[in-house]
């Protein structure tokens, strides 16, 4: 436990002794040592690893499971926490409505995507801690990412969307469409546990009134409204609604983790990977360097405590290294390792082709006769598709405030053509993202193709109180970073990095900036495709 967090927690009225007493399990499991799975050796300095996977999100979890099933020993290194022990309130994860020390990655003040409500700023001070949601300020854009064993699956909305088949060639031009839709998307969806809401229950569920209002307004303006699959356990949610089980989606849990019904990676891919007995995971360990060495690569790993301080630096050997640190994490590592000479063979495509999946948010103010409900499930279940005509797919999103707001809220994914680039700044020793705030304008125009028409039909207006004072568009952020080590450019057509054999990219960094829908199913399916080829040919 870092002294800084103790001081800030004490500042909030919790003594060091009481804090340690209540959170001993977190500290024991995560802050002091490597957490390892049954039958797997701990990551000790000097360890020899057959396959080292950097990151435990979608790409990393697919990689670990399939390698282990093929008989390969795997070690996964994850900079975030294990999230397997209760915090000070007896729950593992904090609620969205009341963020606390668990909510943000090494921040002393929250940076909530919806920063304001009814004119009041929502952000507040929190103790600095290795919390679950990183709001990484990359210059022109804030990139939200999950931190912990399970990566983005811990914090995301669980919307498991497969892009329309006709759009896939524009997403990943070098990938066989039939193979993806006949084999890898079905494999990904079934292993993730993606299912669609019971349409009969949807019609009567109090917690989806906001989505039914969304459907009515979309339909009256002539837009295609569609249910989208989710990885939430619908049976559990039905029981939440009757009060038979503790509430999670119906208690507004999402951004800082779900305590119950969401099938996150630790419950799906990673649970299966654990069961093989061949996969070890070291949480609160961050990879900082990978460089060629006899028999493979020398990997430098920093062990963190929950204040973010480095407690130990370990050097290990790995025959093969799989970069699955997420689009930003993988891109930043590769750009730095190339620029500093650790991996000099990487090609000049490394760092290119980054996009934000055209994310832009907005709210609409409905009439008093169109309430959206005080009880809203935090799990979105539907979208409005205007991609072909207007370049936008809008997720009908919840505003789970616990009170009636008469607001409809949307996260749009748009066909924004702009792409950023990661570059090395030798004077600061940091990787920077070249992204300009003005590049969001095409996304706003595309989102307007839906909402201007709905507002005109309904006689409604935009909310101007959600992202600041009199600000309509949430255009400062993304939940969906993609690209930076693009398939068939920085890597071959299966994720093998050019220039160094035995190095692979397995995550969202492979996808050149946009998938036309929410991305994690595509990241998972692509990783399934690539690892199958890699196992067949390289092991
Ligand atoms: P990711 O899941 O980000 O995993 C990367 C992991 O690597 C993380 O756990 C990092 O902590 C770890 N890491 C990074 N650097 C290092 C390092 N140097 N050493 C060790 N570990 C490291 O990557 N997508 C959907 O499809 N549907 C949704 O409903 C949805 N909602 C979202 C809501 C929110 C609030 C957010 C933030 C994202 C949402 N997403 C959604 C996006 C989705 O979670 C994201 O595309 C995937 O998680 C990306 O998967 P990757 O495997 O690329």
Give 432 Cα–ligand 1 centroid separation in angstroms.
Answer: 19
286: Cβ below 6 Å to ligand 1? Answer: yes
The residues pairing with 414 across neighbouring beta strands, listed in sequence order, are 392
Give the pLDDT confidence of 21-65 residue by residue, as tens digits.
333 333 333 333 333 333 345 689 999 999 999 999 999 999 999
The neighbour count for residue 525, using CB atoms within 10 Å, is 27
pLDDT of residue 9: 31
pLDDT of residue 13: 31
- Whether residue 501 has pLDDT greater than 80: yes
The neighbour count for residue 237, using CB atoms within 10 Å, is 27
- Whether residue 162 has pLDDT greater than 90: yes
- Which of 86-90, 228-232, 246-250 shows the lowest per-residue confidence on average (mean pLDDT)? 86-90
**Residue 49 CA: distances (Å) to CA of 66, 313, 321, 471:** 16, 17, 9, 51
DSSP string, 191-250: HHT-B---HHHHHH-GGGHHHHHHHHHHHHTTPEEEE--BSB-HHHHHHHHHTSS--SGG
- Whether residue 374 has pLDDT greater than 80: yes
147: Cβ below 6 Å to ligand 1? Answer: yes
Q: Calculate Rg over the CA atoms of the chain.
A: 22
395: Cβ below 6 Å to ligand 1? Answer: no
Atom 19 in ligand 1: residue holding the nearest Cα: 286
Q: For residue 288, what are its two tokens? A: 């900082």
Determine the Cα–Cα distance for residues 381 and 238; give it in Å rounded to an integer.
14
pLDDT of residue 119: 76
Atom 11 in ligand 1: residue holding the nearest Cα: 147
pLDDT of residue 22: 35
Give 277 Cα–ligand 1 centroid separation in angstroms.
Answer: 25
Determine the Cα–Cα distance for residues 264 and 261; give it in Å rounded to an integer.
9
Is pTM beyond 0.85? Reply is yes
Determine the Cα–Cα distance for residues 419 and 416; give it in Å rounded to an integer.
8
Give the pLDDT confidence of 190-214 residue by residue, as tens digits.
999 999 999 999 999 999 999 999 9
Q: Select from 57, 105, 342 the residue to mutate for testing ligand 1; criterion: most ligand atoms less than 8 Å from CB.
A: 57
DSSP string, 335-368: HHHHHTTSSTT--TTTT--BB-TT-EEEEEE--T
422: Cβ below 6 Å to ligand 1? Answer: no
Active site residue 395: yes
Q: Which residues make Cβ contacts (< 8 Å) with residue 49, sequence separation at least 6?
A: 43, 73, 74, 75, 299, 316, 317, 318, 319
Indicate the pairing of strand 285-293 with strand 296-304: antiparallel
Query: Stretch 342-359: mean pLDDT, rounded?
Result: 98
Give 301 Cα–ligand 1 centroid separation in angstroms.
Answer: 20
pLDDT of residue 248: 97
Catalytic residue among 458, 480, 528, 532: 480
- % of the chain surpassing 70 pLDDT: 92
Contact call for residues 512 and 353 (beta carbons, < 8 A): yes
- Whether residue 346 has pLDDT greater than 90: yes
Determine the Cα–Cα distance for residues 387 and 98; give it in Å rounded to an integer.
35
Contact call for residues 321 and 502 (beta carbons, < 8 A): yes
Give the pLDDT confidence of 514-534 residue by residue, as tens digits.
999 999 999 999 999 999 999
Return the closest-CA partner of residue 330 out of 519, 161, 505, 168.
505
- Whether residue 7 has pLDDT greater than 60: no
Query: Stretch 370-397: mean pLDDT, rounded?
Result: 97
pLDDT of residue 155: 98
Query: Stretch 339-347: mean pLDDT, rounded?
Result: 98
Query: Stretch 241-257: mean pLDDT, rounded?
Result: 97
Q: Which domains does the chain have, with CATH numbers?
A: 16-84+279-354+483-538 (3.50.50.60)
Contact call for residues 48 and 280 (beta carbons, < 8 A): no
Query: Stretch 362-370: mean pLDDT, rounded?
Result: 97
329: Cβ below 6 Å to ligand 1? Answer: yes
- Whether residue 341 has pLDDT greater than 60: yes
144: Cβ below 6 Å to ligand 1? Answer: yes
């Amino acid at each position: 436990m870092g002294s800084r967090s103790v001081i800030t927690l004490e500042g909030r009225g919790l003594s060091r002794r009481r804090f340690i007493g209540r959170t001993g399990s977190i500290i024991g499991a995560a802050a002091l040592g490597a957490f390892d799975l049954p039958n797997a050796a701990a990551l000790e300095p000097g360890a020899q690893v057959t396959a080292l996977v950097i990151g435990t999100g979608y790409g990393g979890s697919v990689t670990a499971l399939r390698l282990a099933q093929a008989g390969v020993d795997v070690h996964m290194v994850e900079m975030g926490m294990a999230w397997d022990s209760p915090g000070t309130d007896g729950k593992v994860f904090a609620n969205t409505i009341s963020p606390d020390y668990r909510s943000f990655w090494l921040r002393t003040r929250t940076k909530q995507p919806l920063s304001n409500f009814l004119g009041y700023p929502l952000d507040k001070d929190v103790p600095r801690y290795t919390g679950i949601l990183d709001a990484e300020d990359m210059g022109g854009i804030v990139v939200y990412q999950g931190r912990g064993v399970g990566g983005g699956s811990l914090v995301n909305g669980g919307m498991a969307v497969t892009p329309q088949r006709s759009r896939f060639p524009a997403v990943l031009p070098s990938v066989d469409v039939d193979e993806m839709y006949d084999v890898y998307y079905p494999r990904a969806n079934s292993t993730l546990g993606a299912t669609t809401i019971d349409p009969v229950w949807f019609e009567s569920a109090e917690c989806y009134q906001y989505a039914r209002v969304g459907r009515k307004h979309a339909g009256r303006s002539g837009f295609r409204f569609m249910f989208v699959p989710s990885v939430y356990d619908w049976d559990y949610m039905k029981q939440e609604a009757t009060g038979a089980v503790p509430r999670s989606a119906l208690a507004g849990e999402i951004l800082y983790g779900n305590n119950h019904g969401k099938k996150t990676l630790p419950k799906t891919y990673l649970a299966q990977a654990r069961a093989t007995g061949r996969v070890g995971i070291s949480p609160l360990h961050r990879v900082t360097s990978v460089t060629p060495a006899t028999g493979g690569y020398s990997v430098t790993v920093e062990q963190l405590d929950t204040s973010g301080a480095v407690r130990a630096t370990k050097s290990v050997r790995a025959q093969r290294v799989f970069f699955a640190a997420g689009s930003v994490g993988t891109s930043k590592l590769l750009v730095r390792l190339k620029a500093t000479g650790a991996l000099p063979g990487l090609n000049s495509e490394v760092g290119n082709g980054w996009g934000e999946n055209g994310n832009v948010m907005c709210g609409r103010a409905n009439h008093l006769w169109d309430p959206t409900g005080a009880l809203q499930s935090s799990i979105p279940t539907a979208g409005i598709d205007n991609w072909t005509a207007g370049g936008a797919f809008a997720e009908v999103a919840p505003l789970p405030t616990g009170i009636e707001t008469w607001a409809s809220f949307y996260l749009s994914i748009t066909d924004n053509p702009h792409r950023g680039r990661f570059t090395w700044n030798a004077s600061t020793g940091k990787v920077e993202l070249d992204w300009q705030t003005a590049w969001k304008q095409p996304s706003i125009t595309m989102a307007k193709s839906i909402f201007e028409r709905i507002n005109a039909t309904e006689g409604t207006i935009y909310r101007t109180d959600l992202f600041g004072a009199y600000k309509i568009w949430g255009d400062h952020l993304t939940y969906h970073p993609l690209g930076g080590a693009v398939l068939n450019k920085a890597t071959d057509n299966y994720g093998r990095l050019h220039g160094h054999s035995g190095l692979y990219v397995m995550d969202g960094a492979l996808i050149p900036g946009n998938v036309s829908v929410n991305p994690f199913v595509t990241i998972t399916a692509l990783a399934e495709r690539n690892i199958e080829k890699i196992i067949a040919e390289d092991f």
